[in-house]
């Protein structure tokens, strides 16, 4: 609904009678709100605005705005709360939970499909088709989307959790959210966490239901030695998803292995980022990928803090501002002394992406220009059994054109005595000019993806914000398989400046990276040297500031 910009028709202060009617409508639509709650949401003596807008598809929507934040919106005579209200009253609507990566799809305008719903041990909320409901992500009760149930709870179960679950009308980071103060969701911890098995089955981790042997079984299935997980580590598994359990176990295993076989006392103090990059990554079993962001710790600093406080294995200290180092290792610690490295560890394993936060390795895609057969060129390609819409390499086009020239003796028809090569070349370039240009993108290990038109370059630009402040904007990273959040973090570390992600209006599944200052030099270095993106696919490098001679 609000994935694309909307048009404001009018913006007026609410009348007294309309204010009373709005309160009555809120109480009727959301009976769980008390009279005090409603009065707090719609105060009598504060200015409340009624903003009438048209969504991009022409739907007429009425917004009720208090202190510049939209609180409710009315669509087809039905009242919906915005995420700003739901963050204050997270239990206002029945809630469906999903995984964090799904949120980006919802922001882009997608509905929540049932395979993406995480089923808690208590079961799904009881809803009927059309009921207003909210969507949260695992490990945070703060709603991030609002919509209506596509089917009833009973139908969801009878359908085997397949098909559409929630028809989403509003999300965090959409244009309705951006109409407010653009604050982020609060952190509201989940009472229980749920994981999903490799084959799609749900693992519900509840203190009474999950036994230690079940956790060990899950870990063994992922080929991670459960011997590396101490009793203290396993005791917290009941509150974690399966994916986090597995990554925590792998993280702890690599940590112990690195301390026991890689780190020497003479190396201390050792930068924590160096310890992760040069030691822990090389201790990761073959076929596995160490990613701190997929663990329950999320950051290296939090993991090392736990290793220091809970296990007394290391002592970490900030020797210089903002830079942590391991200054001491307890070599006599029982967990470290009893640890034995699993078989099959490649000590010369390829290191992950630099940056010290366990990012996944990146390999640039192979990009090939292709050409599609158009209707008017059908007769030319018919002899080669290539019909309208067939996609060809330039070499294939040249071969077909050359054969066509020879078979039809086109050289003899020309007034100028040109040889076959020149005639074929002339026809080849004219033919390419009349074909639909396409491009094919191939990422390592994935099937090729072919699309019409020219591939969009990564666009880098500089914009002004406020008085003499500049920001660098980067878009189209997703086209090349780059995660904007990872790129933003890498740039943030390189230039020591703040960065934010913003949805691109009118674009589906695309995010804009914004970082303070004119950082085109650093962005260019990161894309060209680190990610190895060819220069021809990067637009805007010429806008980098040019250094002048000091007088």
Q: What pTM, to 2 d.p., does this model score?
A: 0.40
- For the CA atoms of 276, 281, 283, 286, what is the dihedral angle to 10 degrees? 170
Residues β-bridged to residue 78: 75
Give the single-character DSSP code of 278.
I
Alpha-carbon distance 336 to 260, whole Å? 7
Alpha-carbon distance 298 to 181, whole Å? 27
Residues 517/471, Cβ–Cβ less than 8 Å: yes
The owner of tokens 């639509």 is 29
- Bridging pattern class, strands 538-539 and 458-464: parallel
- 304 closest CA partner among 283, 281, 276, 284: 276
HSE-CB for 185 with a 13 A CA cutoff: 23
Alpha-carbon distance 536 to 471, whole Å? 23
Those residues with Cβ within 8 angstroms of residue 497's Cβ, 6 or more apart along the chain or in another chain: 491, 515, 516, 517, 519
Tokens of 450: 């072919």
Q: Which domains can be identified in the chain, with CATH numbers?
A: 7-179 (3.10.400.20), 242-338 (1.10.10.2030), 366-452 (no CATH), 458-543 (3.30.780.10)
The number of residues making up the chain comes to: 551
pLDDT tens track, the chain, 551 positions: 888 888 888 889 998 889 999 999 999 999 999 999 999 999 988 889 999 998 877 889 999 999 889 999 999 889 999 999 999 999 999 999 998 888 878 888 889 999 889 888 888 999 999 999 999 998 889 999 999 999 999 999 888 888 899 999 999 988 899 898 888 888 887 655 444 433 344 434 333 333 333 333 333 333 333 333 333 333 333 345 656 777 788 888 889 988 988 888 888 888 888 788 778 887 887 667 778 888 888 888 889 988 988 788 999 988 877 778 899 999 888 888 888 776 544 433 333 333 333 445 677 888 888 888 888 777 778 777 888 888 888 888 888 877 777 776 655 544 344 445 444 566 677 777 788 888 888 876 667 788 888 899 999 999 988 777 889 999 999 888 888 888 888 888 788 778 888 888 777 667 889 998 889 999 999 999 888 899 999 999 988 877 654 44
Tokens of 525: 């270095």
CB under 8 Å, gap of 24 or more: what pairs does 493-496 form?
493/355, 493/356, 494/522, 494/526, 495/519, 495/522
Residues 322/388, Cβ–Cβ less than 8 Å: no
The owner of tokens 């679950």 is 165
Return phi, psi of residue 326, to 5°.
-85, 115
């Amino acid at each position: 609904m609000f994935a694309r910009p909307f048009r404001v028709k009018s913006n007026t202060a609410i009348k007294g009678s309309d204010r009373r009617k709005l309160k009555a409508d809120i109480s009727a639509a959301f009976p769980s709100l008390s009279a005090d709650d409603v009065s707090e949401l719609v105060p009598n003596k504060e200015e409340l605005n009624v903003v009438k807008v048209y969504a991009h598809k022409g739907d007429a929507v009425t917004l009720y705005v208090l202190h510049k934040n939209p609180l409710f919106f009315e669509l087809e005579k039905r009242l919906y709360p915005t995420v700003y209200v739901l963050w204050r009253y997270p239990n206002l609507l029945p809630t469906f939970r999903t995984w964090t990566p799904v949120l980006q799809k919802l922001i882009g305008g997608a509905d929540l499909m049932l395979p993406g719903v995480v089923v808690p041990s208590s079961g799904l909320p009881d809803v009927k088709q059309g009921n207003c409901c909210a969507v949260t992500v695992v490990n945070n009760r703060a709603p991030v989307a609002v919509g209506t149930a596509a089917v009833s709870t009973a139908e969801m179960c009878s359908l085997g959790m397949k098909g559409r679950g929630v028809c989403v009308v509003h999300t965090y980071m959409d244009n309705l959210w951006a109409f407010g103060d653009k604050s982020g969701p609060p952190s509201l911890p989940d009472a229980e966490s749920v994981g999903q098995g490799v084959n799609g089955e749900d693992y519900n981790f509840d203190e009474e239901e999950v036994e230690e042997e079940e956790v060990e079984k899950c870990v063994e299935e992922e080929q991670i030695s459960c011997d590396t997980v101490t009793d203290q580590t396993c005791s917290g598994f009941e509150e974690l998803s399966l994916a986090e359990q597995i990554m925590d176990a792998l993280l702890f295993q690599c940590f112990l292995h690195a301390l026991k076989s890689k780190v020497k006392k003479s190396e201390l103090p050792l930068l924590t980022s160096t310890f992760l990059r040069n030691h822990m990554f090389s201790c990761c079993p073959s076929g596995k990928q160490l990613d701190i962001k997929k663990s329950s710790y999320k950051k290296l600093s939090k993991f090392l803090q736990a290793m220091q406080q809970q296990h007394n294995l290391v002592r970490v200290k900030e020797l210089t501002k903002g830079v942590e180092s391991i200054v001491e290792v307890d070599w006599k610690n029982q967990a470290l002394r009893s640890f034995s490295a699993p078989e099959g560890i490649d000590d010369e394993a390829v290191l992950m992406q630099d940056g010290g936060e366990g990012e996944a390795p990146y390999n640039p895609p192979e990009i090939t220009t292709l050409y599609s057969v158009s209707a008017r060129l059908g007769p030319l390609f018919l002899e080669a059994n290539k019909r309208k819409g067939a996609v060809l390499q330039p070499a294939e086009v040249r071969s077909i054109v050359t054969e066509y020239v020879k078979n039809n003796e086109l050289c003899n028809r020309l007034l100028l005595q040109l040889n076959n090569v020149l005639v074929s070349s002339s026809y080849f370039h004219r033919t390419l000019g009349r074909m639909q240009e396409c491009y094919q993108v191939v990422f390592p290990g994935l099937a090729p993806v072919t699309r019409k038109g020219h591939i969009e370059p990564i666009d880098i630009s500089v914009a002004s914000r406020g008085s003499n402040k500049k920001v660098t904007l980067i878009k189209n990273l997703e086209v090349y398989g780059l995660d904007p959040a990872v790129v933003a973090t890498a740039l943030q570390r390189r230039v020591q400046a703040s960065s934010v992600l913003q949805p691109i209006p009118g674009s589906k599944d695309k995010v804009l990276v914004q970082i303070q200052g004119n950082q085109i030099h650093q962005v260019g270095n990161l894309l060209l040297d680190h990610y190895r993106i060819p220069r021809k696919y990067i637009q805007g490098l010429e806008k980098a500031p040019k250094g002048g001679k000091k007088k």
